[in-house]
Amino acid sequence: MTDPLQPTPLTAGNWKMNGLSASTGELAALIHAVNTKTAPTCGILICPPYTLIAAMAAQAAGSTVMIGAQDCHAAYSGAHTGDISADMIADAGATHIIVGHSERRADHGESSELVKAKAVATHQAGLIAIICVGETDAERDAGKTLEVVGDQIARSIPDGSAAENTIIAYEPVWAIGTGRTPTVEDVADVHSAIRSALVARFGASGQAFALLYGGSVKPSNASELMAAANVNGALVGGASLKATDFDGIIDAYRV
């Protein structure tokens, strides 16, 4: 019998502002790999830009690959020109929404309070929120990693969160797209602090939240990073754009 407190691992790809209709070929290649190779012990998620969600959700239907979004507005609907609601994302066939990615926190000034509101909107739409946290280079150098991540965890996660509707992604800002990664010990330390914070807040069920690591994950380092304590999957940027690379990361969950 499976342990209900054991997190379900996830390998998630964040395509960011990349992908045109021709990119559905990469999804086709990924689905082919997933259908023909040993089934991994993790879920598989691709978060393309909004423009591809409906087409890719239709394309992935019937496969084990899930489709998500990279952000949403916190409101259900209304006068928010150019924005997209969680309900619209659900309507397009997505299952997950990334909220609080460091590029949104930095480029759009998103506070943890706004991230929390977006996670609430995600939950209200019946979707799973992937809430991102992580320290900058300067914060790390100042020895503030656990303080910064702890504060983001406390303020970005809504009260109604549970393992069924919420995943946490620890992504050190300095590791994103740089080819630099923390040591496995550093990742394990931060993930252990996040796990303790979740258990302190949600009780034993805090053990069941999946904790993803993100930041320069690639096929050559995935197995080592995924084996760290309290790491339950990856959030992958650059290496998710090519099916062969992304599938090479999923290999960490094929026994």
The verdict on whether 101 is a catalytic residue reads: yes
Q: What is the DSSP letter of 72?
A: -
Check residue 215 for interaction with ligand PEP (CB under 6 A). yes
Rama region for 119: left / alpha / beta (φ>0; ψ in -120 to 50; rest)? alpha
The verdict on whether 135 is a catalytic residue reads: no
Check residue 238 for interaction with ligand PEP (CB under 6 A). yes
Check residue 7 for interaction with ligand PEP (CB under 6 A). no
The one-letter code for the residue type at 44 is I
d(CA 226, CA 187): 10
Closest-CB residue for ligand PEP? 237
Check residue 158 for interaction with ligand PEP (CB under 6 A). no
Rama region for 233: left / alpha / beta (φ>0; ψ in -120 to 50; rest)? left
Check residue 70 for interaction with ligand PEP (CB under 6 A). no
Check residue 172 for interaction with ligand PEP (CB under 6 A). no
Q: Smallest distance, Å, CB 222 to ligand PEP?
A: 11
Q: Smallest distance, Å, CB 176 to ligand PEP?
A: 4
Region near ligand PEP per CB under 6 A, out of 1-9, 108-116, 134-142, 229-237: 229-237
The one-letter code for the residue type at 194 is I
Check residue 168 for interaction with ligand PEP (CB under 6 A). no
Check residue 53 for interaction with ligand PEP (CB under 6 A). no
The C-alpha torsion from 67 through 211 and 163 to 38, rounded to 10°, is 50
What is the pattern of x (binds ligand PEP, CB under 6 A) and - over residues 14-33?
Answer: x-------------------
Check residue 216 for interaction with ligand PEP (CB under 6 A). yes
Check residue 237 for interaction with ligand PEP (CB under 6 A). yes
Q: Smallest distance, Å, CB 166 to ligand PEP?
A: 17
If the CB atoms of residues 87 and 112 are measured against ligand PEP, the closer one turns out to be 112
Check residue 217 for interaction with ligand PEP (CB under 6 A). yes
If the CB atoms of residues 52 and 206 are measured against ligand PEP, the closer one turns out to be 52
The token pair that represents 86 in the structure block:
């969680």
For binding to ligand PEP (CB under 6 A), which residues are involved? 14, 171, 176-177, 214-217, 235-239
- Please identify every residue annotated as catalytic: 101, 171
